[in-house]
Amino acid sequence: MLSLFIMKDIALKSLVILPIIAFVDYIIMIAVGCTSSLIGSTDNFYECTFCTIGKVVLTISVLAFVIMLFFEVKMFIRNRKRLC
C-alpha cells in the first residue's frame, strides 16, 4: 500500500513539474525571440539559429526532468528496501 502511495507521489510531482518546465521553456524562447527582434536579426536567424536554441533548451529541460525522475525512483526503491 505504501509503494502505491509513493508512486502516486511521483506521478503527482510529474504532473506539476512538467507544465512548469514547459512554461519556463516557453518564456525563455519568448525572451530569445523578443531580444533577437530588438537587435534586428534577419530571417535566417529565425530559420536556423532560433530552432537550434529551442532544441537545446528543450533537450536540457527533458534531461533535467529525467534526472529528477531517476532520483525519485531511486529514493522510492531505497525506501522500499528499508521497509521490507
3-state secondary structure 2-65: HHHHHHHHHHHHHHHHHHHHHHHHHHHHHHHHHHHHHHCCCHHHHHHHHHHHHHHHHHHHHHHH
pLDDT of res. 67: 93
Confidence at 6, pLDDT banded by 50, 70, 90 = low
pLDDT of res. 59: 95
pLDDT tens digit string along 9-55?
778 888 899 999 999 999 999 999 999 889 988 888 888 888 899 99
What cell does 78 get? 531505497
What cell does 1 get? 500500500
Contact 42, 71 (CB under 8 A): no
Say which residues have a Cβ less than 8 Å from residue 3's Cβ, sequence separation at least 6.
Answer: 76, 80
pLDDT tens digit string along 45-79?
888 888 899 999 999 999 999 998 888 888 878 87
pLDDT of res. 64: 93
